[in-house]
Structure 1
């Protein structure tokens, strides 16, 4: 494996987003088996490393890692592993290109894993540079350090370790596990990547066809005599990739565990494509491998970041996070358990409903002081409201009840499915006297649900239509195509 050059610069992306998570879990699963064969230590010792200790979030120092950790997974292309005739060699001037960005959270004690995908067109401030750009420009602009800082500063997410995967080895890895079966319920194609599925059925994709499939951004399927384009482009690709992850993991674990020759091939190919941070020790890797040796790939929790489509002033297409929908997902990767009744898990808006000077800002300050996340502060459309009201989205009642318990004077709860600025909205009334430092017993009364909504001062672009659930995935929900 060729070493990384000094001062490596990660180049601007060539449109692809491949399955680095496959490599990571294959390495873990196969290391667990290889450990029993006595040669895992030498394999781990050959993993390439990059110095990132100064920007990573501190993680437990105990060998094997026992506490939950977040691993940033980044997929890159390297010229070293590409055929000179490969289309990816066009317009290249050396170095690496990166496009896939995911955050993997591992809980060794619970043997639990979650994966969060970041869309390539996500518009953010890059670290502390003050520059706003798409997230996939962080690597070419400032390397892994800047990407880590960008995720930490924009999402308040800890990043304990970094794993970089070179997808020049992707085809080889799929071929080593003898292909991956996909349940195509309709003919499908992508004229840009070369994907062509002429007949529906359980199609086993070899390395080359798998690459065409997971790269597909202009996916089409044949229905009612015509080709229908999937309108969600990169966001749909994320959902297909996540489905491919599950199927690939099941195939890789089965093939690797049962066949020592295949096991050795998987480990060799995977290791040839992986670079890790200098703080992830061989003991950590081996410990994780053993803890996840019996991990069921079907239990991998997959989360796309909820976003909405927007454009910059020059017309560039971008996506932005839907903060209200993203918060409960991000909290999972922050280690915040919403079901445990933690104020940190509740995002809310505060409105001054009495007209009393500075009541909105002082209420927000008090709620922040006990741990709530206040997204915005403003004035209600009407003043002199007699009662304090806590409105909430249908799935946010526990958070609303918790907020109400901190409000001195009590509050009325109202379900409001039309809230947009946050999952919970507090409108102060004349009965409001302040914020308590400790929650009162759950004695709040509830009023009938209402669909009226109040706009907070400074509300951002309407985020009612989001992209978190879009995307065409072949055979989704079908179990009869691939037995």
Structure 2
């Protein structure tokens, strides 16, 4: 995971208005839901891959019909009666069966040039960035569910080559490569892909949607930036307000626990709004959201547009009810030997999650621990 790619290079810097001409040529003529898959996956990078991947459209690409070959738009073309019918094309090579996949979602707290800071940290010089959001997204081989495991940013772990520290320091000390090594060591599992975004990308995606409505169950006044007050019930949040909503922890008696719940609440609202008919039937809005996010994403080099599309298509029958979030159980609060307030690991729980990931039995673990509704 040392090499990261920039989705900015995958498309023109400014797409034509009112269409999807900025997409790769092979994707432009496909049904609208396929275009939504790409957009959805990019929006997901805000720290929300699990739930968003589960929302991709159902169905599939048009198939050949008896009267002719299906065109990109689903219409059929019939051979001319005065010309011989073309020889049938050989069948495509069968796709290999899907395998389980782990994706690490990172929300950086960088307020500067996140790309420069990431390059600096990955090169071995500590940079001004930490992981404000960490989520391990597990996509099982059977593609029947999606799991998002939130990791508390203050969890005390071993950072390879750096000793013990809060897990979010991995991003500061060695960038995405070290963050990947740290999480892989925590779960004793392999991470296949990484997606990172920063504060600016989060805010711009929210504003591009015209704000996002969330149900605030625990009202509070933010201790960040504007000091916005979040009242009980439905609140329509701007990008700045949304960032304060998902970052806040000092206003709550249980701190980071409520922050993780708020992050998941916002995530579901963001995805629901993006997948609404009013958004997906409006090409300008879809393009606007994707364009707002793209400059602030860093994906690993193997997470190509083609791979994003294939992943989305493989999840075409997964619905929002099949996306399950839960927080990695911890061992309580305490202090490090240096006096830092930290969250201790729960070795038994981490071992159980690791075994479930390795054995493909995460569904059993979730059911046994009552995590179906998230926590």
Give the TM-score of the pair, scaled to structure 2.
Answer: 0.65
Structure showing greater relative contact order (alpha-carbon pairs closer than 8 Å, 6 or more residues apart): 2
Task: Please name the residue that 1:444 is paired with.
Answer: none
C-alpha contact (below 8 Å) 2:155/2:342 kept by paired residues: yes
- Call closer, same or farther: CA 1:157–1:27 in 2, change over 3 Å: closer
C-alpha distance in 1 between matches for 2:336 and 2:99: 41
Task: Please name the residue that 1:334 is paired with.
Answer: 358
Give the 3-state SS of the residue equivalent to 1:313 in structure 2: coil
Q: As a proportion of its length, which structure holds more strand? A: 1
Task: Please name the residue that 1:98 is paired with.
Answer: 131
The residue correspondences of 1:283-432 to structure 2 (distance < 5 A) are 283-293=306-316, 295-307=318-330, 308-337=332-361
C-alpha contact (below 8 Å) 1:256/1:266 kept by paired residues: no
C-alpha contact (below 8 Å) 1:121/1:135 kept by paired residues: yes
Superposed CA offset, 1:68-104 (max 9, x none): 100111122252489xxxxxxxxxx976543322111
> Cα distance, 1:174 vs. partner?
0.9
- 2:46 matches 1:20: yes
C-alpha distance in 2 between matches for 1:140 and 1:165: 14
- 2:279 matches 1:256: yes
Task: Please name the residue that 1:216 is paired with.
Answer: 248
Task: Please name the residue that 1:71 is paired with.
Answer: 103
Give the TM-score of the pair, scaled to structure 1.
Answer: 0.52
Superposed CA offset, 1:168-187 (max 9, x none): 12111112222222223564
C-alpha distance in 2 between matches for 1:125 and 1:332: 22
Task: Please name the residue that 2:24 is paired with.
Answer: none
C-alpha distance in 2 between matches for 1:112 and 1:24: 9
The residue correspondences of 1:24-103 to structure 2 (distance < 5 A) are 66-76=98-108, 77=110, 79-80=112-113, 96-103=129-136
> Cα distance, 1:275 vs. partner?
1.6
Uncovered stretches (5+) of structure 2, i.e. residues with no partner: 8-43, 63-70, 73-93, 116-125
C-alpha contact (below 8 Å) 2:184/2:191 kept by paired residues: yes
Question: What RMSD, in angstroms, separates the aligned Cα atoms of the two structures?
Answer: 4.0
Superposed CA offset, 1:327-363 (max 9, x none): 43343333442788xxxx9xxxxxxxxxxxxxxxxxx
Superposed CA offset, 1:207-228 (max 9, x none): 1211111111122xxxxxxxxx
The structure whose Rg is larger is 1
C-alpha contact (below 8 Å) 1:32/1:286 kept by paired residues: no
Q: As a proportion of its length, which structure holds more helix? A: 2
C-alpha distance in 2 between matches for 1:309 and 1:160: 31
- Call closer, same or farther: CA 1:142–1:151 in 2, change over 3 Å: same
C-alpha distance in 1 between matches for 2:308 and 2:357: 20
Task: Please name the residue that 1:126 is paired with.
Answer: 159
- Call closer, same or farther: CA 1:203–1:154 in 2, change over 3 Å: closer
> Cα distance, 1:244 vs. partner?
1.5
> Cα distance, 1:299 vs. partner?
2.9
